[in-house]
Amino acid sequence: MVQAKKPSSRLLTTRRRRVQLILPILNQVYPDARCALYFSNPLELLVATILSAQCTDERVNLVCRELFQKYRSAGDYASASQAALENDIKSINFFRNKARAIRAMTQQLIDEHHGQVPPEMAALVKLPGVGRKTANVVLGNAFNQNVGVVVDTHVLRVANRLELTGHPSDAVKIEQDLIRVVPQEQWTHFSHLLILHGRAICTARNPKCETCPIFVHCPTGPRILEQRRRVADQKARTKAKSKVTTKAKAGAKTKSKAKSATIRRAARA
């Protein structure tokens, strides 16, 4: 794992304090925060998480409800033909690559883990198609082990806006920053909360800072509102200026018409 530059102890204290303040608020706002993927055992969650890459949880859940009726063990996936598995997941994007990854992953489970999903990070990340994020999802939600924080696109964005990390886009470094400031027993739950908040309020475009329940603890919210105020002022100024110009142009036109009429009258006299 790449080691990120350690934040200063002062910065860590600020970030820890911020986490302590926002956690109870987010818990109150999102009391049902949990993994959004449908599963009843570690294998199902592993398959669902692989399928969920760049796909909505709703779509994955829809496919998985039928898929899990048909494929009940690692052997069921590994012995299925590529074409058959592709057909069963074809409404999910990148279904060909995902079918290949699931078949290879389940074959490795059979070869090295007696067909069971190993409850260890080191073993999980060696499985085809399984990265640290997927392993964190499985360990945190299927094995109740807080070994890391899941950093998806929402966690990445919200953690940055809350300045809980100094890394804009590197998920591994962001995770390292978060595990330094979020209590370990909250690691899995914290990412569920940030995901829900990122979907509902702190959206990528036009975050709803005006109504955000953690606005007072967010360093970015006031800056976003100030930026919006400046843009609105600028627009109002441009509109007012264009009104004045139109009026002036209309006045000049009337004057010029009157002048021409005077000249014509003088010429006739």
Which residue ranges make up the site for ligand SF4 (CB under 6 A)? 161-162, 201-202, 207-209, 212, 214-215, 218, 220-221, 224
Q: How far is CA 214 from CA 12, 53, 161, 256, in A?
A: 19, 29, 11, 60
Q: Given the complex with ligand SF4, which of 61 and 160 has the nearer CB atom? A: 160
**Nearer of residues 149 and 214 to ligand SF4, judged by Cβ:** 214
Q: Closest approach of Cβ 230 to ligand SF4, in Å?
A: 16
The tokens for 65 are 């409800």
Q: List, in order, residues 6 or more apart from 137 with CB less than 8 Å away.
A: 35, 37, 45, 49, 150
Q: Which residues are catalytic?
A: 133, 152
Q: Rounded distance, CA 13 to CA 8, Å?
A: 9
Residue 91 near residue 59, CB atoms below 8 Å: yes
Q: Nearest distance from residue 212's CB to ligand SF4, in Å?
A: 3
CB 158, min distance to ligand SF4, A = 6
With respect to ligand SF4, which residue has the nearer C-beta, 42 or 207?
A: 207
**Between 149 and 201, CB nearer to ligand SF4:** 201
Could you say which DSSP state residue 168 is in? Answer: S
Comparison of 189 and 197: residue with beta carbon closer to ligand SF4: 197
CA 40, 45, 51, 55: dihedral to nearest 10 degrees?
Answer: 80
Task: For the CB of residue 164, give the shortest distance to ligand SF4 in the complex, in Å.
Answer: 11
In this chain, which residue has its C-beta nearest to ligand SF4?
A: 221
Evaluate whether 98 touches 54 at the Cβ level (below 8 Å): no
Q: Is the dihedral of CA 21, 22, 27, 33 positive or negative?
A: negative
Which regions of 14-76 does DSSP assign to beta strands (E)? none
Helix/strand/coil for 267: helix
Q: Please give the DSSP secondary-structure letter assigned to residue 215.
A: G
Minimum distance from residue 127 beta carbon to ligand SF4 (Å): 35
Angle between helices 42-51 and 95-113 (to 10 degrees): 150
